[in-house]
């Protein structure tokens, strides 16, 4: 494997001192997933990473980045000793960014940033060496870790940047130094840390502060805070907007969805675009248009990118669709599960409900004669004092009229349950564990089932319970 960091280069990047010579082929912050040859970074959170350094060496770590010699070890171990481990990780990220010739694209947004990042990674396949963040590594640990893991010969890098509080995005953007920066959307999310949605827009727009000289800012033209985004974007060398609004630089004309795909027609001032996405959803159309715009600006071939987009599927927990067979003998007794249990805010929940409303259940195959659209919803967290109101407002969405049963989990979703018409009310549960135990009573063959909620609601337990219905039948 290619050497990523030597003791000499890592010492220079961090300002620390090394106890001996070593070479690392990767960087890890978690002994559960560490690979032989990795540099283990002993970060401190709920647990102190120094307590796991011996375990990291047992699993083959090449060295450990520490602020002290861990208990049970001495300086005969390959240690890179620094004053502050997190600052040193940022130093590795900064050096990793400086030594690469890659064209860097950074993404943020209240919803869609991880899907858009994954889209871009897949769309750029075959156009050079592509490096992208794992999972949703987008915070003050994840961004420098992604940069520290970037090989020097990377051609394209896609960096996801998130936030939980004001002032977090700009420093990470300046660390990533993107040539292209994208704001997918601005919506109520993390409102507990902001006074209103304009505060969120200013924070998201601060990604443009890190754009390299001559770089491009890309932003959503369809949100109420577009003027805030446009003002911030105008400070970059070039600014482009995307969306359905008149005047958008990259404008969607039509979106057609089927059970398995989405077809989009769009245009700019000098070309017409027609592309397919390998998953249903209007929100995916918006993300894909942003991704195609960014890829083109970054110098990649948009035609090849569009071909790859047709084969793209969302990552697990972010709208993936699967069929679960409820009977080992009769292959027709199935449900379709839309697993969107990784995260939720009002904008992403609306998008998921639109996908559910457009899906077609199967009639005449289950105990209930008519196949149903069913939503199982967990609390949307970090919405601040307006959280109850935002949950009740879901009852007024047009898509709700096409959902037969809505099961609600948690104290906030109880607000939605109370606001629903009685005929659409499913079960109301205090916890996901409570509802998961009754999963077999919630669905019938022919149903299409959406499961959606913030990660902290643990609504993924219901997804697991539904999948086990298929395992029991096999």
Q: How far apart are CA 368 and CA 444, in angstroms?
A: 7
pLDDT tens digits for 416-462? 999 999 999 999 999 999 999 999 999 999 999 999 999 999 999 99
Contact at 8 Å (CB) between 374 and 447?
Answer: yes
pLDDT for 155 equals 98
User: Model confidence at 382, in pLDDT bands (50, 70, 90)?
Assistant: confident
Angle, to 10 degrees, between the axis of helix 226-233 and the axis of helix 197-205? 20
Distance (Å) of CA 148 to CA 88, 113, 122, 195, 292: 10, 21, 21, 34, 26
The rounded distance, in Å, linking the Cα atoms of 263 and 315 is 19
pLDDT tens digits for 269-328?
888 999 999 888 888 999 999 999 999 999 999 999 999 999 998 877 788 889 999 887
Q: What DSSP string describes 222-276? A: SSTTHHHHHHHHTTSSEEEEEESSTT-SEEEEEEEE-SS-EEEEEE-SS-EEEEE
Q: pLDDT (tens digit, 9 = 90+) per residue, 192-248?
A: 778 789 999 999 999 999 999 999 999 999 999 999 999 999 999 999 999 999 999
- The reported pTM is 0.86
pLDDT score recorded for residue 212? 98
Q: Is the pLDDT of residue 189 over 90?
A: no
What was the pLDDT predicted at 190? 67
Q: Mean pLDDT across the chain, nearest whole number?
A: 93
Going by the DSSP 8-state scheme, the letter that residue 52 receives in this structure is: G
Measured distance CA(56)–CA(36) in Å, rounded: 9
* Banded model confidence at residue 161, pLDDT cuts 50, 70, 90: very high
For residues 66 and 57, give the distance between their C-alpha atoms in angstroms, rounded to a whole number.
13
pLDDT score of 474: 46
| pLDDT one-digit tens code per residue, 2-54 | 999 999 999 999 999 999 999 999 999 999 999 999 999 999 988 999 999 99
In the chain, what are the helix, strand and coil shares in percent, each to the nearest 5?
35, 20, 40
């Amino acid at each position: 494997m290619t050497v990523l960091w030597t003791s000499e280069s890592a010492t220079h990047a961090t300002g620390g001192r090394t106890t001996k010579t070593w070479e690392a082929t990767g960087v890890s912050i978690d002994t559960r997933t560490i690979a032989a040859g990795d540099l283990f970074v002993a970060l401190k959170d709920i647990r102190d990473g120094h307590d796991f350094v011996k375990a990291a060496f047992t699993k083959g770590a090449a060295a450990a980045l520490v602020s002290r010699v861990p208990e049970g070890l001495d300086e005969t171990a390959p240690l890179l000793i620094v004053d502050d481990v997190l600052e040193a990780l940022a130093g590795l990220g900064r050096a990793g960014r400086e030594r690469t010739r890659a064209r860097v694209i950074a993404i943020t947004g209240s919803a869609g940033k991880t899907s858009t990042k994954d889209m871009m990674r897949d769309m750029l396949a075959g156009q050079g060496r592509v490096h992208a963040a794992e999972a949703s590594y987008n915070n003050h640990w994840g961004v420098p870790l992604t940069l520290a893991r970037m090989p020097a010969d990377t051609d394209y890098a896609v960096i996801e940047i998130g936030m939980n509080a004001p002032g977090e995005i700009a420093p990470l953007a300046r660390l990533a130094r993107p040539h292209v920066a994208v704001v997918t959307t601005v919506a109520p999310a993390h409102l507990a840390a902001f006074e209103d949605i304009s505060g969120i827009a200013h924070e998201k727009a601060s990604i443009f502060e890190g754009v390299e000289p001559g770089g491009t800012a890309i932003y959503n033209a369809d949100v109420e805070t577009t003027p805030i985004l446009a003002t911030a974007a105008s400070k970059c060398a070039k600014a482009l907007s995307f969306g359905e609004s008149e005047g958008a630089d990259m404008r969607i004309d039509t979106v057609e969805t089927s059970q398995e795909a989405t077809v989009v027609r769009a245009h700019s001032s000098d070309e017409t675009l027609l592309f397919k996405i390998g998953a249903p959803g209007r929100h995916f159309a918006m993300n894909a248009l942003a991704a195609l715009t960014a890829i083109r600006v970054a110098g990649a071939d948009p035609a090849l990118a569009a071909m790859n987009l047709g084969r793209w599927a969302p990552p697990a927990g972010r709208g993936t669709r699967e069929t679960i067979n409820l009977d080992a003998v009769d292959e027709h007794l199935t449900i379709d599960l839309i697993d969107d249990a990784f995260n939720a805010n009002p904008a992403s929940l609306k998008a998921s409900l639109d996908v559910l409303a457009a899906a077609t259940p199967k009639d005449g195959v289950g105990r209930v004669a008519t196949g149903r659209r069913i939503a199982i919803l967990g609390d949307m967290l970090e919405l601040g004092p307006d959280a109850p109101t935002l949950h009740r407002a879901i009852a007024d969405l047009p898509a709700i009229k096409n959902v037969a049963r809505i099961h609600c989990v948690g104290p906030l979703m109880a607000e939605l349950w109370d606001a629903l018409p009685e005929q659409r009310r499913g079960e109301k549960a205090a916890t996901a564990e409570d509802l998961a135990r009754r999963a077999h009573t919630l669905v019938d063959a022919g149903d299409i089932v959406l499961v959606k909620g913030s990660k902290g609601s643990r609504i993924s337990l219901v997804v697991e319970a539904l999948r086990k219905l298929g395992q029991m039948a096999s």
